[in-house]
Amino acid sequence: MPARTTESERRMLRVFAGQTLTPPPIWLMRQAGRYLPEYREVRARVRDFLELCYTPELAAEVTLQPVRRFDFDAAIVFADILIVPDALNQTVRFVEGEGPRLDAIRSAAELARLNPSATRPKFQRVFETVARVRQDLPHTTALIGFCGAPWTVATYMVEGQGSVDQAGARLWAYRDPQGLQRLISLLEDVSVEYLSGQIDAGADVLQIFDSWAGNLPDDQFRHWVIEPTRRLVGRLKARYPTVPVIGFPRGAGPLARAYAAETGVDGLSCDWAMPLKFMAQELPKHTVVQGNLDPLLLLAGGPAFESRVAELVAQFAQRAFIFNLGHGIQPQTPPENVARLVGLVRGAD
Ligand code: CP3
């Protein structure tokens, strides 16, 4: 069982024990990836992105790369939210320059073809990556396991790709809520097992990515974002009461307050459009706030970047806070800007 006490040597975990740390812990969403030349070198050795995710030795290596380079307070296991549909036997491909493509699920018959009992061998590879990373990580670095939230994963499974408005999943929700609920329930079940396996292998914090939470009317948001997340978190907490869970309901706006209060998450990762004042004042007092620098500002660098970083750190000096971006790092980001960010947050000039 991971330590989650105020004495933990992992600063990231001390924040979840209620401590306000100066400087705050820092890690970045998508911290492993194409902006790093050493990632591109490893990526070039495999045929496609999923092969990288399923080769524990290489996935562990790219997980560790940004921690070595920038000494982040946490590593996040190198995998993808679409490993879950892939492990369920839905066909998932990553097309170079176009993003993910799945054989879209459009009917109950196609839904019935998903096979939860087939997931083990692929999940096992991710668990092995977690175990390898834990072995090689400094003791002071936390290890984050993750999955996509049921709603966001379902949008990809139903659309067959990323989309601007998630119309396929939203229409299914209106026309046949019970049918969509079967998919959501299946994803809850599989995600509990997937995250539990990551904890057993050595993950000591979890993050649930709900990247497409922001496009729903409030009643739908409650039904498809808050409720599935609450059930998922509840089932994890019953097994692992001390492992902190961070939720990332991207685009939730003011609904983030209900999300933080009702899902049982310990931390809320805020996107870059969330006002700092809202983050500091409107979220439940016990919720750890994570975020929310605009990834484009990190890419741009310069005086606007430097002053916003200072503003963010100052805004949360009195609150349990983890420095992060408001979404994943952009591939064009100069690595020097990331080094500068870590220096600024840690108080070096
Ligand atoms: O460093 C980390 O954060 C860990 C690894 C990680 C990846 N994807 C690696 C990845 C994590 C946590 C994710 C989460 C993820 N994947 C999300 C949720 C967060 C978000 O960004 O909203 C989503 C929606 C996905 C689905 C996905 N995977 C898309 C849409 C794409 C294509 C876009 C792109 O950037 O190419 C991916 C591919 C992907 N996942 C890459 C990486 C490093 C790039 C693939 C490559 O190297 O060719």
**What pLDDT, on the 0 to 100 scale, is given for residue 107?**
87
Domain ranges, ordered by start, for the chain: 7-345
Compute the distance between CA of residue 324 and CA of residue 271 in angstroms, rounded to an integer.
10
Residues 271-313 have pLDDT tens digits of: 999 999 999 999 999 999 999 999 999 999 999 999 999 999 9
Class of the CATH domain delimited by 7-345: alpha beta
**What pLDDT, on the 0 to 100 scale, is given for residue 312?**
97
Write the DSSP symbol of residue 45.
T
Distance 82 CA to ligand 1 centre (A): 9
**What pLDDT, on the 0 to 100 scale, is given for residue 97?**
85
43 is catalytic: yes
Compute the distance between CA of residue 29 and CA of residue 65 in angstroms, rounded to an integer.
14
**Nearest in space to 32 (alpha carbons), one of 348, 316, 245, 328:** 328
Coil, strand or helix at 280: helix
* Given 54, 156, 194, 259, the catalytic residue: 156
* Ligand 1 atom closest to 32 (CA): 1
* Given 73, 80, 86, 210, the catalytic residue: 80
- Residue 45's contacts (CB-CB under 8 Å, 6 or more residues apart) are 58
* Spans of the chain, pLDDT less than 70: 1-7, 348-349
Write the DSSP symbol of residue 328.
P
14 is catalytic: no
Nearest CA to ligand 1 atom 21: 328
Burial zone of 78 (CB within 10 Å; 0-12 exposed, 13-18 middle, 19+ buried): buried
263 — phi, psi (to 5°)? Answer: -80, -20
**What pLDDT, on the 0 to 100 scale, is given for residue 29?**
98
200 is catalytic: no
Pocket test for ligand 1, best of 31, 80, 151, 210 (most atoms within 8 A of CB): 80
**What pLDDT, on the 0 to 100 scale, is given for residue 108?**
86
**What pLDDT, on the 0 to 100 scale, is given for residue 6?**
60
Nearest CA to ligand 1 atom 18: 209
**What pLDDT, on the 0 to 100 scale, is given for residue 1?**
46
pTM beyond 0.95? yes
34 is catalytic: yes
Compute the distance between CA of residue 322 and CA of residue 13 in angstroms, rounded to an integer.
10
Residues 172-190 have pLDDT tens digits of: 999 999 999 999 999 999 9
Scanning 160-224, the segments in alpha helix (DSSP H) are 167-175, 177-201, 218-221
* Cβ–Cβ under 8 Å, residues 69 and 36: yes
